[in-house]
Amino acid sequence: MRLYPAAIAAVLVTACVIGPLVTTLPVASYFTHPMFFQYLQTGSLIRIYFQLPGVFTHSPLGTDVNTSLWSLSLEWKCYAGLFLLSFINRNFRWKLVYGLILLLFIAHFFDSQLESLGKQMIHPAFNLAPYLQLVVFFLIGTLCYHHRENLKIHPWWIPAIAVLAFLSAWFGVLQTALFVLLPASVLCWAVSGNRLIHRLTPKPDLSYGLYVWGFPVEQLTANYLHPTSPGHLFVLVILLTTPLACLSWYFIESPTLKTKKAVR
pLDDT in tens, 188-240: 887 776 555 666 666 788 999 999 999 999 999 999 999 999 999 999 999 99
- How far apart, in whole angstroms, are the C-alpha atoms of residue 238 and residue 252? 20
Dist CA 50 CA 14 (whole Å): 11
27, 20 in Cβ contact below 8 A?
Answer: yes
How much of the chain exceeds pLDDT 70, in percent? Answer: 94
For the segment 116-120, the average pLDDT, to the nearest whole number, is 83
pLDDT given for residue 200 in this prediction: 61
| Per-residue H/E/C for 141-181 | HHHHHHCCCCCCCCCCHHHHHHHHHHHHHHCCCHHHHHHHH
Number of helical (H) and strand (E) elements in the chain, helices listed first = 14, 0
C-beta of residue 97 within 8 angstroms of C-beta of residue 241: no
Name 174's Cβ contacts closer than 8 Å, sequence gap at least 6. 165, 168
What's residue 170's pLDDT?
94
Is residue 163 scored above 90 in pLDDT? yes
**Mean pLDDT for all residues in the chain:** 89
- pTM of the predicted model as reported, rounded to 2 decimal places: 0.84
Give the Cα separation of 66 and 61 in Å (integer). 11
pLDDT grade, residue 90 (50/70/90)? Answer: confident
Distance CA 217, CA 159 (A): 38
